[in-house]
Amino acid sequence: MSRHSLLIVDADPFLAGIYAHEFEKGSFDVFVAESVEQAKQLLEKQKIEVVIIDPDTVDLAWEFLRLKKLHLAKRLILTQLGQREEIEKAQEEGVDAYLLKGHFVPSEICKKVLQLL
Question: What Rg value do the Cα atoms of the chain yield, rounded?
Answer: 13
* Segment 10-27 mean pLDDT: 92
Alpha-carbon distance of 24 to 4, in angstroms, equals: 10
CA angle in degrees (0–180, nearest 5) for 60-64-67: 150
Per residue in 48-78, pLDDT tens? Answer: 999 999 998 898 999 999 888 887 899 999 9
Tell me the pTM.
0.92
Sequence spans of domains, the chain? 4-116
Averaged pLDDT of the chain: 91
Alpha-carbon distance of 102 to 89, in angstroms, equals: 21
pLDDT at 81 over 90: no
pLDDT at 1 over 70: no
> To which CATH superfamily is domain 4-116 assigned?
Response regulator (3.40.50.2300)
